[in-house]
Structure 1
Amino acid sequence: MNTRRNFLKNITVSALALPLLSTYKSTGLEGISTSLYQGPVLRVAIMGLGSYGTRVAEAMQSCKRAKLVGVISGTPSKVSDWQKKYNIPEKNCYNYDNFDLIKDNPDIDAVYVITPNSLHHDQVIRVAKAGKHAICEKPMGINAKEAQEMIDACKQANVKLLVGYRMHFEANTLEIIRMRKAGDFGKIMFFQGLCGFRIGDPTQWRLNKQLAGGGSMMDIGIYAINGARYLIGEEPIWVTAQETKTDHVKFKEGVDETIQFQLGFPSGAVASCLSTYNMNYLDRFFLNGEKGFAELNPSTGYGPIKGRTNKGELNIPHVTHQTVQMEEMAGIILDGKSPVVPVDGEEALKDSKIIDAIYLATKTNQKVPLKI
């Protein structure tokens, strides 16, 4: 793949395909329905109107329980364009300086923060202080300290903090988790996660340490970390890591190009993962157990995700990930629903602790113990 943001365009599920989804009880797709919905709706403002914010907005047009009602941006022309495209009233439009005023807007329930990584911390805390639920793209913060402060702020304000872990609702992923829990693979021995692409524009924010907080690990490597945890079903207890950098101009100090890392788990299972901004065609998870295996290839792209196990292909119909995510998050916020794999701040804090440990391991060449 050229970039994880340039996967195949989302496939719109036809009305004929939707009934098939009911056969997969663990997919987390129960919220997608062709029937007329008349219950409560989560009213969402999107902060950050870039490429991914646009993808989420488009996906939300198919949601029944989540609705785009507001925007927050530092670019007036984008605000104007979104107002026209999504019929957003002027009173629900804000910029980065005045969005604290959402505290007085009863038409907005939650804000989805989709801005560069280093901005998440302060913006989520401001959202919480305004009394609105916060949805934040990953990584939630640029380190574990920031992540904990964001959790604390949302708890103090008595609002939910959710993180954009769209793969936690993806049907193939959830089916493999179900099979692992059922013992179909036996004792889990090994996980491999390969996540990478060759990044383009050297001036983009993802290659700016002050905005990104790092390099490939903060953007694509986090998928392998998270995938190892939810597919193995344990929390790691140690990490080792090695960094390789071949282009010191593009990947400046503090911006990692390629990191290989290994995780150890209490059961004895191990994970071997790679995160890179300098190799294409890396989007694969592999899980090995004493009785079987599972593979996702592609594993984290925008879809379709392809899954297979020692029992055969999964062949689960594709539904746009962001549509499912927002429907399920509406259920979490409105109904207190508990997802199969958590998407709350505490889940993101665990990934942040592991990322901190990976960076430490690359600097020290030592095995770093984990307690998350």
Structure 2
Amino acid sequence: MSNSLIQSRRRFLMNVGASAITLPVLTDAFGNSIQSEPRQGRKLGIALVGLGSYSKNQLAPALQQTQNCRLAGVVTGTPSKAEEWMQKYNIPKANVYDYKTFDRIADNKDIDVVYVVLPNSMHEEFVVRAAQAGKHVICEKPMAITPKACQNMIEACKKANKQLAIGYRLHYEPFTKEVMRLGQEKVFGPIKFIESSDGFRIGDPTQWRMKKDMAGGGPLMDVGIYAVQGSRYVTGEEPISVTAQFSPKTEPQKFKDVEETLFWQFEFPSGAVSNSTTSYTAGIERLYAACQNGWFELSPAFGYGPLKGRTSKGPIEQPVVNHQAMHMDGVCKDLLDGKKLPDHITGEEGLRDVRLLQAIYRAAETGRKIDLKA
């Protein structure tokens, strides 16, 4: 990360205010209300593109709790899902599209933001189409499966004068914001070592996440990105090198198309080093930082919550919030206020992550240390 980006991220943390480790239950890690202040006037209308499990189980329920945005429309290729969602959420038929009619959303003044919740390989197409339709965009992570696709998405939004946010929900989550503060402000002194790992045992082997052409890879492209993010946001730095190793496949038939487990190691400019694991065969979810004068950790660290944290001085006490509601409300508040979205959730941030994911794969494939400074 460039010095300007590091300073931008630090200014973001400072602007929202530092916190003590224990805060009143009605505030987050930076002293803010855990819910956005109710606004006068209309909420921004969000259309969800793709009605899979994340939209169904996380985003749609969260949009019933938001202050700055609401569920206004859906895009799906399954007519039965369209009927179900119209009835459940009182969505007018005029706000329901399929993938062929999607571009007509340009004429719908009820929809301000398009949230792309599709397989990774489809992100580029629908972000570009949404921007061309004159809508702001939120795109699930990873942003895309190649840096070139990310760049195309960024350029399309800039050309349309629309903003692009990536689904980094944890950047609005109180426990996560607190460990950002602890690390970047060096509360326990300089960070020396980080463990940042995320994995789980995957179910259905026929799902799109197990198909390289749709997912771009295996667990690294799914939950491994959380571990990449974790080491970056606790240091506030960009890694300067990476080494990586694939594990032997214990279920080669199941994992014939993607990796099963992957390990990688980052070095950072400050001298901090990180060790990470991601896997589709075993559960791990931890973000730990050993510092010169103590330590801090989150475990669980990356899931939908509740997260749990502690430090060498005691537990981290923060309010439990709906991650998706906080994320969408935060993005939409900036859009309503006419502000530029903060760097840490933009397409440029998504591009940085995808470049790192590709570098990890190259390191594992070649067995070489990859220099990330170039």
Aligned with residue 248 of structure 1, among 242, 248, 252: 252
Aligned to 2:47: 45
Distance 2:184 2:278 in 1: 27
C-alpha deviation, 1:29, in angstroms: 4.7
Aligned to 1:359: 361
Aligned to 1:165: 168
**Residues 301 and 123 from structure 1, CA distance in 2 versus in 1: closer, same or farther, beyond 3 angstroms?**
same
**Residues 210 and 101 from structure 1, CA distance in 2 versus in 1: closer, same or farther, beyond 3 angstroms?**
same
Contact 1:195 1:224 in 2 (8 A): yes
C-alpha deviation, 1:32, in angstroms: 3.4
Distance 2:205 2:225 in 1: 21
Contact 2:28 2:319 in 1 (8 A): no
Give the letter aligned to residue 256 of structure 2: K
Distance 1:339 1:172 in 2: 21
Unaligned runs of 5+ in 2: 1-22
Aligned to 2:112: 109
**Residues 241 and 208 from structure 1, CA distance in 2 versus in 1: closer, same or farther, beyond 3 angstroms?**
same
Contact 2:228 2:353 in 1 (8 A): yes
Aligned to 2:73: 70
Distance 1:41 1:48 in 2: 22
Aligned with residue 236 of structure 2, among 227, 233, 238: 233
Aligned to 1:262: 265
Over the residues paired in the alignment, what is the CA RMSD in angstroms? 1.8
C-alpha deviation, 1:340, in angstroms: 7.3
After superposition, where does 1:213-362 map in structure 2 within 5 Å? 213-244=216-247, 245-253=249-257, 255-280=258-283, 282-336=284-338, 342-362=344-364
**Residues 25 and 286 from structure 1, CA distance in 2 versus in 1: closer, same or farther, beyond 3 angstroms?**
closer
Distance 2:364 2:334 in 1: 37
**Residues 145 and 355 from structure 1, CA distance in 2 versus in 1: closer, same or farther, beyond 3 angstroms?**
same
C-alpha deviation, 1:246, in angstroms: 2.2
The two structures have a TM-score, normalised by structure 2, of 0.90
Unaligned runs of 5+ in 1: 1-18
- SS of residue matched to 2:281: coil
Give the letter aligned to residue 129 of structure 2: R
- Give the total of aligned pairs: 350
* Larger relative contact order (Cα-Cα within 8 Å, sequence gap ≥ 6): 1
Aligned with residue 90 of structure 1, among 93, 103, 125: 93
The two structures have a TM-score, normalised by structure 1, of 0.90
C-alpha deviation, 1:20, in angstroms: 4.0
Distance 2:102 2:202 in 1: 32
Distance 1:86 1:367 in 2: 51
Distance 2:130 2:202 in 1: 31
Contact 2:47 2:111 in 1 (8 A): yes
Aligned to 2:157: 154
* Residue 79 (1) aligns with residue 82 (2): yes
